């Protein structure tokens, strides 16, 4: 659904939506229904055979969710998308068609803590493995890819460390190995970063964060670029060979560059059931309408607050890639030219104790396990989201003991700075 005739601000409001054919309703209705009446028995059979596209049952497809899928696919410049119940569900849904027992992925060490846990432990139950590599060491990435590697995975702007991935360089390595690159674009959003233009095959989102933008619902999405040739080798039989889970259908042959998206719905949602509900899709659709406006303010505020924090002598370090002092400042200009996001960490003098006092003393900032809200949020990662990780993994993920993660909202930057100032006063006393 790549649309090159309209700008981002237009697409974030209109892509996928049209006046409701039944009522003329201008806003996308919440189709709160489980099932859809078949015209007759032949119609039902055609739908189940995937010979006709239509609605059967809301575990697979729902008209409200479909609008969101088309909208996110359009904003990312992909051909299709599948929405899921959470960002973590989206990650499993992205890997599921590619993987099998004994297969592995190569992932960046700098990832959201929950993803490190999912990839280090939980996916082993499926017989999948993950090799974590420093993505700034391109030779190590190449060396980690073996005959059983089925994907490379990284975050464009990593959560929580202010690390910017060289998406193009890693995409070239994945390309040479004939495997897809999956980018988690949650913290950047398609407004700041366009991974498909930089060579990514698939983009995953936690729509829980900036896409919804107001902390109301969890959700996820897998976007397909449509650019990968699943039949170039025999590594992806679920897509390029007869799929036993759908009476021998060959998805690539039948659906061409929509093979991954159709597989995600017909097999992934059908059998794993990680479905987004229409209420959640509604809230996220509301959020997408103002995405660019919010991201501009998020970035503007983050630059102001990070610069203020950097010169404060109660702070040891600020890891924001939008700061000129950041080692990723130059890279950010090519990976996310409209800004380095609004998520960064600070290292607080006084270590663990000072961090605890700081999060307790803040008044405008809320101490929560979320990010990408219009409200400013903080979390002490080492005692919360990254608690399950070893100290080495915490350090590698940028979530050491003295580190507080900050998600800058869209309030007045001066108010945010004043709140940090008073709380740092209490933390250092």
Helical pair 413-427 and 351-361, crossing angle rounded to 10 deg: 130
In the set 12, 62, 74, 208, which binds ligand PLP (CB under 6 A)? 208
> b vs e for 401-412, b when ≥16 Cβ sit within 10 Å of the residue's Cβ?
bbbbbbbbbbbe
Work out the burial of residue 146: count CB atoms within 10 Å of its CB; fewer than 13 is exposed, 13-18 middle, 19 or more buried.
exposed
Evaluate whether 148 touches 101 at the Cβ level (below 8 Å).
Answer: no
Minimum distance between the CB of residue 98 and ligand PLP, rounded to whole angstroms?
A: 18
Minimum distance between the CB of residue 342 and ligand PLP, rounded to whole angstroms?
A: 12
In the set 78, 161, 180, 220, which binds ligand PLP (CB under 6 A)? 220
53/369 with CB nearer ligand PLP? 369
The vertex-356 CA angle with 350 and 362, nearest 5°, equals 110
Is 114 a binding residue for ligand PLP by CB under 6 A? The answer is yes
Q: How far apart are CA 298 and CA 213, in angstroms?
A: 11
Stretch that binds ligand PLP, among 62-70, 206-214, 261-269, 401-409 (CB under 6 A): 206-214
Q: How far apart are CA 240 and CA 252, in angstroms?
A: 5
Is 117 a binding residue for ligand PLP by CB under 6 A? The answer is no
The mark string for 33-62 relative to ligand PLP (x by CB under 6 A, - otherwise) is ------------------------------
* Count of other CB atoms within 10 angstroms of residue 216: 16
DSSP string, 84-111: ESSHHHHHHHHHTTT--TT-EEEEESS-
Q: Identify the CA nearest to 203 among candidates 250, 245, 156.
A: 156
Evaluate whether 407 touches 342 at the Cβ level (below 8 Å).
Answer: yes
Minimum distance between the CB of residue 329 and ligand PLP, rounded to whole angstroms?
A: 21
Stretch that binds ligand PLP, among 35-43, 108-116, 279-287, 400-408 (CB under 6 A): 108-116
In the set 117, 189, 218, 326, which binds ligand PLP (CB under 6 A)? 218
Q: What number of residues does the chain have?
A: 429
E strand residue ranges, 72-219: 80-84, 104-108, 129-133, 149-155, 181-184, 202-206
Stretch that binds ligand PLP, among 15-23, 82-90, 168-176, 229-237 (CB under 6 A): 82-90
115/275 with CB nearer ligand PLP? 115
Is 224 a binding residue for ligand PLP by CB under 6 A? The answer is no
Site for ligand PLP in 177-196 (CB under 6 A): 184, 186-187
Minimum distance between the CB of residue 257 and ligand PLP, rounded to whole angstroms?
A: 26
Q: Identify the CA nearest to 369 among candidates 357, 385, 382.
A: 385
58/186 with CB nearer ligand PLP? 186
In the set 104, 115, 117, 275, which binds ligand PLP (CB under 6 A)? 115
**Number of amino acids touching ligand PLP (CB under 6 A):** 17
The mark string for 136-165 relative to ligand PLP (x by CB under 6 A, - otherwise) is -------------------x---x------
Q: How far apart are CA 337 and CA 219, in angstroms?
A: 26
Site for ligand PLP in 335-394 (CB under 6 A): 371
86/402 with CB nearer ligand PLP? 86
Stretch that binds ligand PLP, among 80-88, 129-137, 391-399, 403-411 (CB under 6 A): 80-88
E strand residue ranges, 3-43: none
Binding site for ligand PLP (CB under 6 A): 86-88, 112, 114-115, 155, 159, 184, 186-187, 206, 208-209, 218, 220, 371
């Amino acid at each position: 659904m790549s649309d090159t005739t309209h700008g981002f601000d237009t697409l974030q409001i209109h892509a996928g939506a049209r006046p409701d054919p039944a009522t003329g309703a201008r806003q996308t209705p919440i189709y709160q229904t489980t099932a859809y009446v078949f015209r007759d028995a032949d119609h039902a059979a055609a739908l189940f055979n995937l010979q006709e596209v239509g609605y059967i049952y809301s575990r697979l497809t729902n008209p409200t969710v479909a609008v969101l899928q088309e909208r996110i696919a359009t904003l990312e410049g992909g051909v299709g998308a599948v929405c899921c119940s959470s960002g973590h569900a989206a990650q499993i849904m992205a890997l599921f068609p590619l993987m099998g027992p004994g297969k592995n992925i190569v992932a960046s060490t700098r990832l959201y803590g929950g993803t490190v846990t999912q990839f280090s432990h939980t996916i082993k139950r499926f017989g999948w493995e993950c090799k974590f590599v420093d993505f700034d060491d391109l030779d190590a990435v190449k060396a980690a890819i073996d005959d059983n590697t089925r994907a490379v995975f990284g975050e464009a702007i990593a959560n929580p460390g202010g690390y910017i991935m060289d998406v193009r360089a890693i995409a070239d390595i994945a390309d040479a190995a004939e495997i897809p690159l999956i980018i988690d674009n949650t913290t950047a959003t398609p407004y700041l970063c366009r991974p498909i233009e930089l060579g990514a095959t698939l983009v995953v989102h936690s729509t829980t964060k900036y896409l919804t933008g107001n902390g109301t619902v969890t959700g996820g999405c897998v976007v397909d670029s449509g650019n990968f040739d699943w039949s170039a080798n025999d590594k992806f039989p679920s897509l390029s060979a007869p799929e036993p889970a759908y009476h021998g259908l060959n998805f690539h042959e039948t659906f061409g560059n929509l093979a991954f998206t159709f597989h995600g719905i017909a097999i992934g949602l059908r059998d794993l059931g990680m479905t987004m509900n229409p209420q959640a899709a509604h809230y996220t659709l509301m959020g997408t309408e103002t995405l660019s406006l919010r991201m501009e303010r998020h970035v503007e505020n983050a630059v102001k607050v990070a610069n203020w924090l950097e010169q404060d002598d109660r702070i040891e370090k600020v890891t924001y890639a939008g700061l000129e002092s950041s080692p990723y400042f130059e890279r950010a200009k090519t990976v996310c030219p409209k800004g380095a996001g609004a998520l960064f960490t600070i290292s607080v003098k006084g270590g663990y104790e000072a961090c605890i006092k700081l999060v307790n003393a803040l008044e405008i900032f809320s101490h929560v396990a979320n990010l990408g809200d219009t409200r400013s949020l903080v979390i002490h990662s080492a005692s919360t989201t990254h608690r399950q990780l070893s100290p080495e993994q915490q350090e590698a993920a940028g979530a050491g003991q003295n580190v507080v993660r900050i998600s800058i909202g869209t309030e007045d930057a001066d108010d945010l700075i004043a709140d940090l100032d008073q709380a740092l006063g209490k933390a250092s006393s």
